[in-house]
Structure formats: structure tokens, C-alpha cells
């Protein structure tokens, strides 16, 4: 086991006030390690950095095309959004087109990070709902895949066909067998992998080119959707109106 490496020093005047250790890895398009600090084999929970991977079955299964998902909705499926109107309006419309509603989500309610949206709820004396959750786009994607597969409503169950499809894609693109999972803050399984596995997966997304295979085509669609609609992926919290 390689110890964590010193990654950052923060200086105040003539003295290093704090030092931060960790693990990091850079992989090339073939999945090889170009550079590493600390232990590239460190087991990690990738948390929200895995959202692009979790959205792969949505595209590869044909669900995205069957339900006519736009690039905006693919970006939302990969998003950790701030719960602003540009996010919640779109997620609500997506659910409505599925014949579903906020109660069908399994991500749980969360106060929006967007200040204007949060203050509007406070003024109206309304509680935040699940659509405000920063992962509601990802969960709308899960519900779309579940509908396409004809699967049941408990799509966050690790034994559900949606999560089985996510795990299969996750292990394939990381090149690692996941030893288990933890439950993420949005109630979905977050599969463990080694740091080099996530580096391998992210390099594959970066290097993907259209027309070179179904997996690459899906990666390109998700990557390009996020690039085209960055405000839907993670809009900065807007200030509350005066």
C-alpha cells in the first residue's frame, strides 16, 4: 500500500499553514497510467464523478432514443445541479412525459443550492421536494431506463435491472471488478472501484470518438451533451433578488 502523497501546500506569509495529502492518477486513452501520486490502486467511492458512467445504460439500451431524450436531458442525467428553475422545470417536464411525478423519484428531498430558488421556497413557506435534489436528473434517467426495461419502481435497489445494468457498465469501463457499494446521498448504490479504474473510465470518455462502436458513441453523446449544456450540469447558485 502506497502512502498518500503531498498534493497541496497552502502558505500564509513565510509559513506553510496547511498541507493536504491524497491519491491521484492520470491515465491515457488506452487505460495505461501516465502519472500517479500516492496509490493508484486505492479503493474509492467515485460519488458524483460516476454519473456519466451511470448514464451509459440509458443510452446504450436504446432508452434515450425510444423516449426521444434531448441533449439537455442527457446533460441533466449526468448533473449535480443546483436546484434552480432551469433544472427543476426541466426535470418536472421530463417526469410528466414519462407519466410520472415527483413521488416516483427515490432521491429524497434536498434544499436547492441555488439561493434564489431556496429563498423563494422560504417566502412561499414551501418545503423542498425531490425535484430540487441535485441528483434528480440522474434519477429521471434511471426512471426512463426502468420504463424502457419494463422494470419495477424501486430502481435504486442494487438487485433492480437498472442498477445491474449500471454495475455492468461501471465494471467494463473501469476495467475493475467492484468489491461492493455504499449508498450515496441520493439513495442510489455507489460502486467501489480503484482510483486507476476511474482514471481509466474518464480517459475513455475524453478519448471517445463517434463511429467507433456503440460504447464510444454513447460516451460521445453524454460528453458532448454536458459540454453543450454546462448550466444544466452544475449552474452556479444565483444570488437572491433584492
Would you kindly state where each structural domain of the chain is located, as residue ranges?
A: 42-234
First to last CA, the chain: 54
Predicted confidence (pLDDT) per residue in 91-124, tens digit: 999 999 999 999 999 999 999 999 999 999 999 9
Predicted confidence (pLDDT) per residue in 18-58, tens digit: 999 999 999 999 999 999 999 999 999 999 999 999 999 99
Q: How many residues comprise the chain?
A: 242
Predicted confidence (pLDDT) per residue in 144-173, tens digit: 999 999 999 999 999 999 999 999 999 999
Residues facing residue 182 across a β-bridge: 190
For residue 1, pLDDT beyond 90: no
Cell of residue 239, nine digits = 444570488
3-class SS shares of the chain: helix, strand, coil, % to 5: 45, 15, 40
Can you tell me the distance from the alpha carbon of 154 to that of 164, in angstroms, rounded to the nearest whole number?
13
Contact call for residues 29 and 203 (beta carbons, < 8 A): yes
Beta strand 189-191 with 24-27: parallel, antiparallel or unpaired?
unpaired
Going from the C-alpha of 236 to that of each of 114, 115, 132, 166, the distances in angstroms are 7, 10, 15, 28
Can you tell me the distance from the alpha carbon of 184 to that of 194, in angstroms, rounded to the nearest whole number?
17
Amino acid at each position: 500500500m502506497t502512502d498518500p502523497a503531498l498534493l497541496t501546500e497552502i502558505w500564509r506569509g513565510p509559513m506553510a499553514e496547511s498541507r493536504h495529502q491524497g491519491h491521484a492518477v492520470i491515465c491515457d486513452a488506452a487505460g495505461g497510467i501516465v502519472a500517479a501520486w500516492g496509490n493508484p490502486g486505492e479503493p474509492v467511492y467515485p460519488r458524483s464523478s460516476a454519473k456519466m458512467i451511470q448514464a451509459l445504460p440509458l443510452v446504450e439500451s436504446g432508452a434515450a432514443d425510444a423516449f426521444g431524450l434531448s441533449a439537455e436531458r442527457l446533460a441533466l442525467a449526468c448533473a449535480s445541479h443546483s436546484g434552480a428553475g432551469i433544472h427543476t422545470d426541466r426535470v418536472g417536464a421530463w417526469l410528466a412525459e414519462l407519466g410520472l411525478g415527483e413521488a416516483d423519484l427515490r432521491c429524497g428531498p434536498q434544499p436547492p443550492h441555488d439561493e434564489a430558488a431556496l429563498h423563494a421556497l422560504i417566502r412561499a413557506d414551501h418545503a423542498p421536494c425531490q425535484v430540487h435534489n441535485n441528483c434528480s436528473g440522474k434519477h429521471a434517467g434511471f426512471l426512463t431506463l426502468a420504463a424502457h426495461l419494463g422494470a419495477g419502481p424501486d430502481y435504486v435497489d442494487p438487485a433492480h435491472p437498472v442498477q445491474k445494468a449500471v454495475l455492468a457498465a461501471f465494471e467494463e469501463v473501469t476495467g475493475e471488478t467492484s468489491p461492493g457499494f455504499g449508498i450515496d446521498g441520493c439513495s442510489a448504490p455507489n460502486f467501489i472501484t480503484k482510483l486507476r479504474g476511474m482514471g481509466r473510465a474518464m480517459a475513455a470518455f475524453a478519448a471517445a470518438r463517434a463511429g467507433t462502436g456503440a460504447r464510444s458513441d454513447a460516451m460521445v453523446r453524454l460528453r458532448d451533451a454536458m459540454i453543450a449544456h454546462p448550466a444544466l450540469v452544475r449552474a452556479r447558485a444565483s444570488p437572491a433578488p433584492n
